[in-house]
């Protein structure tokens, strides 16, 4: 299975049409007087959506190493997934315990080198990053703790704010990390246009003394500015929160505030069954009426409908985020493909294009909504808000759907009619629709190259062997791929009834459909209408 997986991805990576490029020409962002993030070159509102992803650090790093896998190849595969799904945002808290010493000096080790490589590959795809240099968290989960060299090891969460030595270590570290030069981009983090902002610390725990909270924030803000970081700076609010703490943040110098959303809780050790859409009906911003909150930019640093296997929640969450005015949102966390079969990294989260394809496609649709929906606009209440603009959610069919003039994307079989078959340029999904009939269980993508020529990607069949949200282990495979030959039928006028199929896989075979039907194995194919072939002749 592993050899087949690697071969399949080599094909995907070398195919010139394999992934739609998402190269953003935008560079710096700034926050206007109304708390809106805007691109400085166009003054347009920023809307970025994507994931957290952690291969350079913690458990994901250790798991790849134990399996003898190439880190760079693993990152290449996963970044191609993120691009294929149309994401343009990345965020992760850097595990400072792995890349710093006790006084905050940055360690030039393999973790940092791999993070540099990840940032480089993301930037090549036009994916924008907000970095969070301080995680505080240990790196062992889900395994027993072990000693790490970083400064956070020596202080409790609240001491990160209250202890002068801890603050000095953080200031030393922040100054060094933003001036760290990525050997792949040849740019310091502070100068990298793909890094658009910074979040000071992940999920801080606040003391009762709110003056100390503001002092901590402003100290970190000032050291970043003095070290040459000119981009927006965010501060996280998630733990022991109240209006007094909110006022301290609003009175501080930071330009933005970062939020999370886990509306179904975390780590239930089993799959949650039932309709949880009412849980994501609205996103209520904590302390939103505190003076000055409306002047701060707003981002969602982490979100998930944890322990839910259905593909309906992400679209509803994206809708609620836009209603609340969020401009940057990243799901936690995308499972690295080489270890996704076990879901051991974070058992309560499970998204991967191969091993959890329906959820991955639903996240792709959520990204479409986040980019297209107007901010601060109400789309009604549950259940009426299951249908809005070009989007549809159907709990009974486990379906998220995007249906526009040019794209038709669905997370499971749908009976919807495409708005305009003749103008379609992209089709993606699982199962059947009025224009695609496929008896496999993996995802597929159909992209129009030009009139009469389409590129088809077919991913392997997948079967969940166990509840992926139970206690997991690398000794237990929860999701398995199958490399079956499957029947495919495409009913698109642009291709006609009988069209040519050219395999771009290793065998490079060429064959023809019969009454719009043909058989394919996982891989990449170029489909050409007879009219196009005749014109070339």
Query: For residue 57, which of 120, 121, 103, 113 has the smallest C-alpha distance?
Result: 113
Integer Cα distance of 107 and 109 in angstroms: 6
The neighbour count for residue 7, using CB atoms within 10 Å, is: 15
**How far, CA to CA in Å, does 36 sit from each of 11, 152, 307?**
42, 33, 33
Count how many Cα atoms sit within 13 Å of the Cα of residue 232 in the half-sphere of its side chain.
29
pTM recorded for the entire structure: 0.95
Question: Residues near 456 by Cβ (< 8 Å), separated by ≥ 6?
Answer: 444, 445, 446, 488, 490, 501, 520, 524, 525, 526, 527
- Fold classification of 2-372 is TIM Barrel (3.20.20)
- Could you list the pLDDT tens digit for every one of the 537 residues in the chain? 454 454 555 445 444 444 444 455 677 999 999 999 999 999 999 999 999 999 999 999 999 999 999 999 999 999 999 999 999 999 999 999 999 999 999 999 999 999 999 999 999 999 999 999 999 999 999 988 889 999 999 999 999 999 999 999 999 999 999 999 999 999 999 999 999 999 999 999 999 999 999 999 999 999 999 999 999 999 998 888 889 999 999 999 999 999 999 999 999 999 999 999 999 999 998 888 899 999 999 999 999 999 999 999 999 999 999 999 999 999 999 999 999 999 999 999 999 999 999 999 999 999 999 999 999 999 999 999 999 999 999 999 999 999 999 999 999 999 999 999 999 999 999 999 999 999 999 999 999 999 999 999 999 999 999 999 999 999 999 999 999 999 999 999 999 999 999 999 888 899 999 999 999 999 999 999 987 775 655
CB of 117 closer than 8 Å to CB of 72: yes
In which residue ranges of the chain is CATH 3.20.20.80 found? 2-372
Q: What is the DSSP letter of 215?
A: H
SS3 321: helix
Query: For residue 73, which of 344, 309, 259, 336 has the smallest C-alpha distance?
Result: 336
Name the pairing type of β-strands 499-503 and 399-403: unpaired
In the chain, the N- to C-terminal Cα span, in Å, equals: 41
Strand partners, 219: none
**E strand map for 194-322:** 195-199, 233-236, 256-261, 297-303
319 alpha-carbon distance from chain centroid: 16
């Amino acid at each position: 299975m592993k050899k087949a997986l690697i071969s399949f991805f080599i094909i995907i990576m070398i195919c010139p049409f394999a992934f739609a490029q998402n190269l953003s020409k935008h560079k710096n962002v700034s926050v206007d007087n109304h708390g809106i993030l805007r691109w400085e070159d166009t003054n347009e509102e920023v809307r970025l959506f994507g994931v957290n992803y952690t291969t350079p650090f913690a458990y994901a790093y250790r798991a790849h190493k134990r399996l003898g896998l190439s880190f760079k190849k693993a990152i290449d595969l996963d970044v191609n997934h993120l691009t294929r799904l149309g994401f343009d945002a990345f965020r992760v808290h850097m595990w400072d315990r792995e890349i710093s010493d006790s006084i905050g000096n940055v360690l030039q080790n393999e973790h940092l080198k791999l993070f540099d490589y990840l940032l480089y590959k993301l930037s090549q795809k036009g994916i924008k990053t907000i970095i969070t240099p301080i995680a505080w968290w240990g790196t062992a989960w889900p395994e027993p703790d072990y000693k790490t060299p970083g400064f956070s090891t020596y202080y409790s969460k609240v001491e990160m704010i209250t202890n002068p030595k801890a603050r000095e270590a953080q200031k030393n570290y922040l100054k060094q990390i933003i001036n760290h030069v990525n050997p792949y981009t040849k740019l310091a983090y502070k100068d990298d246009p793909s890094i658009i902002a910074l979040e000071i610390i992940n999920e801080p725990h606040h003391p009762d003394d709110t003056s100390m909270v503001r002092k901590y924030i402003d100290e970190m803000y000032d050291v970043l500015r003095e070290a040459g970081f000119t981009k927006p700076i965010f501060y996280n609010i998630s733990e022991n929160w109240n209006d007094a703490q909110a006022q301290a943040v609003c009175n501080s110098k930071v330009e933005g505030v970062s939020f999370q959303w886990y509306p179904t809780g975390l780590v239930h050790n089993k799959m949650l069954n039932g309709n949880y859409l009412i849980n994501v009906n609205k996103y209520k911003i904590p302390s939103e009426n505190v003076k000055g909150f409306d002047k701060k930019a707003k981002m969602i640093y982490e979100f998930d409908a944890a322990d839910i296997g259905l593909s309906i929640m992400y679209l509803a969450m994206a809708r609620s985020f836009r209603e609340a005015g969020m401009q940057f949102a990243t799901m936690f966390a995308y499972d690295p493909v080489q270890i996704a079969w076990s879901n051991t990294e974070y058992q309560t989260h499970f998204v991967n294009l191969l091993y959890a394809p329906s959820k991955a496609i639903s996240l792709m649709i959520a990204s479409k909504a986040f980019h297209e929906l107007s901010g601060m606009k109400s789309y009604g209440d549950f259940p009426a808000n299951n249908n809005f603009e070009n989007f549809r959610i159907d709990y009974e069919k486990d379906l998220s759907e995007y249906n526009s003039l040019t794209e038709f994307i669905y997370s499971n079989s749908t009976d919807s009619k495409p708005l305009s078959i003749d103008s379609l340029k992209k089709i993606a999904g699982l199962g059947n629709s009025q224009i695609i009939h496929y008896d496999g269980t993996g995802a597929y993508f159909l992209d129009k190259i030009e009139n009469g020529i389409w590129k088809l990607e077919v991913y392997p069949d997948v079967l969940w062997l166990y509840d992926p949200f139970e206690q997991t282990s690398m000794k237990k495979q929860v999701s398995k791929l199958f490399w079956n030959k499957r029947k495919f039928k495409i009913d698109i006028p642009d291709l006609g009834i009988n069209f040519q199929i050219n395999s771009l896989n290793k065998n490079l075979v060429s064959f023809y459909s019969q009454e719009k039907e043909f058989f394919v194995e996982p891989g990449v194919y170029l489909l050409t209408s007879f009219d196009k072939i005749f014109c070339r002749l």
